Chains A and B, each alone.
Chain A
Amino acid sequence: MYRYIINRLVLVIPTLVGAAALVFALMRLIPGDICVVRLASGGGTFNAHAVAVCHAEVGLDQSVPVQFVNFVIGLFRFDFGPSMWSGKPVSEEILARLPISLEVALLATVIAVLIAIPLGTISALKQNSWTDVVVRTVAIAGIATPSFWLGILVILAILDITQAISGTPWMPPIDYVSLWDDPIRNLSIVICPAVTVGYRYSAVTMRMTRSAMLEVLREDYIRTARAKGLIEKLVVNRHALKNALLPVVTLIGIEFAFLIGGLVVTEQVFNLNGIGRLFVLAVQNQDYTLTQALVMLTVVVFVLCNLIVDVLYAWLDPRIRYA
């Protein structure tokens, strides 16, 4: 087991180095001098001295290899330099917005799993029945519905329903409070985005659960379990679901990493001041230090999720450990 984990850890290194090199190169592909573009569009003082100061701030006054080494060292120390737009350290900007995004992501995962696994299982057990067709259609609709549109619809529904009940439209509060300070206020902010993101997430997981269950239900050991007279509930829970959930666990882990992508759009709809919104602001303001830090953060989260999933998988399935 330890051998497997170490082997897997070693594989992470080239991916991370490659990603860092790619992000570094991409940000230097930008046509023109970042500082000139920024100063020219800012309308401030524009002279050689201002450009030089800006270069020194972003670290562009050094040679390219030195810049790359500094970038990598910065990654390890979680120091990405100052944001080109606000002037505050990039790590500070990110840390301030991380809790809310993490909370939405975790809640969305819980919602997705709670919906997807029971429905996917029922759908597989009753293959081609009406239940199955409905579940599959709901799942495909979940993949097809853009999350920002769903978010707008959710907001519309809340406005209309609260108006009908209390006479005045109610909107979730905008300013974030932590879960520990005021749990109800916190949840009222987070629940709608979590449901919106969670729907798509659950749709993907539901499809996976269904197809994995269908495959497992055809196995010989299921027939054996049924033949020895085991009640159906035990056949499904102990024999089928336990094995079918392996690929589902993988998918949940990988999709969790992709949630960041989903949050970019959803946070915009719900006006949440999280990582996703920061990303959009960074791109809009041409804030390259912030953009490259955020892209790198996404990649690290993705690679870590993959790593955790693989280790979990090996722990759950001995065939992988000893292969």
Chain B
Amino acid sequence: MSPSDTTLPISAIDDDAPETRRSILERSLLFCRRQPLGTFGLALCIVMLIAGLGAEWLAPYSPTANDFSAMTEPPSWAHLLGTDQFGRDLLSRIIYGARTALIVGFSCAIVGGFVGLVLGVGSAYFGGRIDAWLQRVFDVLMAFPLIIMALAVVAIFGTGVQNVIVAITVPLVPRCARVVRSSALSIREVPYVDAARACGFGHVRIIMRHMVPNVMAPFLILITAFVGQAILAEASLSYLGLGVQEPVAAWGLMLQGGAEEYASTAPWIAVFPGLAIALTVFGISLYGDALRDVLDPKMRDR
């Protein structure tokens, strides 16, 4: 941590004031200088993002191509991370797995986050009976641990990428709505919302222009955390055989079955896919923590 991290409140205010006038580049550089761990996390995320987006160009082999002359080969120049029990190149499967993880992670976080945002802000804004009922519903939904809820949804709709996305998105919605509602509640009482109402603006305009921008900070922090949670949940489901199915390349799936069986003779099959999951979620969490420090002034010294 650089010494500038432990700024006094006064200098923090000084730093904040011209922030709006700084260019994006300047602000990014400032973020990197103040949050070295967060920048490292962001770098990890970007590496995974590039791997996921450019899988066709980056992967040396096809992720589904079997090579029965090279089964459970240790890492070598031909296969940088070795091959699995079907002779498939592990590096290629990890690169394609990044795509699966990113698709699931981002779809769940964005869809779950936005539904949660709408319900949370709406609940806080309208208050009264709607709020009370929604709160009870969220209470019920929050009583299901994420993975248990996801398993229950999979039990109904079945496995596969799309169903996994639905299964993980559903439990994220109330978690987002809760957080958003509590920060939106304090904004509802602020005079400018009253002023907007006095001007005769409609509900949609007040919600979109006055309430939503003010809950953006906790919302963005939450969405970042959701991406990590969703990737972990997808990996767990796939590992249990109840998520993404073969032949799609997914990190959790790579650890299923063969990985345990061959663990002692071919440890690379078990080590590298798990490392990919851990590093990605580690990167997202570091970035999320840094984002929280920057966006939430109350948390600045923590």
Contact = CB atoms under 8 A, between A and B. Distances in A.
Interface of A: 14-15, 18-19, 22-23, 26-27, 29-31, 127-128, 132-133, 137, 140-141, 143-150, 152-153, 155-156, 159-160, 169, 210-211, 214-215, 257-258, 260-262, 264-265, 268-269, 279-280, 282-284, 286, 288, 291, 295, 298-299, 302-303
A144 B152 contact: no
B152 A280 contact: no
B180 interface: no
B73 to A, nearest CB: 19
Contact of B143 (A145, A148, A264, A302): A302
Interface of B: 1, 5-6, 37, 136-137, 139-141, 143-148, 151-156, 228, 232, 235-236, 239-242, 252, 255, 259-260, 263-264, 267, 270-271, 273-274, 277-282, 284-286, 289, 301-302
B144 A298 contact: yes
A191 to B, nearest CB: 19
Nearest to B149: A295
A148 B255 contact: yes
Given A155-B263, A156-B270, 5 more contacts: A145-B278, A152-B259, A152-B260, A283-B242, A295-B152
B270 to A, nearest CB: 5
Contact of B277 (A146, A169, A215, A302): A146
A140 B285 contact: yes
Contact of A159 (B151, B156, B264, B302): B264
Nearest to B155: A283
Contact of B241 (A26, A261, A284): A284
A260 B145 contact: yes
A128 to B, nearest CB: 5
Contact of B156 (A30, A211, A258, A269): A30
A152 B257 CA distance: 11
Contact of B274 (A127, A146, A210): A146
A39 B154 CA distance: 20
Contacts of B151: 264, 279-280, 283
Given A26-B152, A146-B277, A264-B151, A299 B267 contact: no
7 contacts: A143-B228, A144-B284, A146-B239, A156-B267, A265-B236, A282-B155, A295-B144
B139 A264 contact: no
A149 B264 contact: no
The 9 A-B residue pairs whose C-beta atoms are closest, nearest first, are A149-B274, A18-B140, A144-B281, A261-B145, A144-B282, A261-B147, A128-B1, A283-B155, A299-B143
Interface hub of B5, B239, B277, B289 (most chain A Cβ within 10 A): B239
Given A15-B140, A152-B274, A169-B264, A261 B302 contact: no
B52 to A, nearest CB: 17
B241 A303 contact: no
Contacts of B286: 140
Nearest to A124: B302
Contacts of A159: 263-264
B228 A144 contact: yes
B240 A14 contact: no
A210 B156 CA distance: 41
B284 to A, nearest CB: 8
Contacts of B141: 22
A323 B1 CA distance: 41
A260 B148 contact: yes
Nearest to B267: A156
Given A26-B156, A159-B264, A140 B289 contact: yes
A149 B272 CA distance: 10
Contacts of B277: 144, 146, 149
Nearest to A292: B152
A310 B115 CA distance: 29
A22 B141 CA distance: 9
Nearest to B240: A280
A19 B145 contact: no
A118 B245 CA distance: 43
A298 B145 contact: yes
Contacts of B235: 146, 148
B287 to A, nearest CB: 10
A18 B136 contact: yes
B282 A18 contact: no
A206 B270 CA distance: 28
A297 B260 CA distance: 30
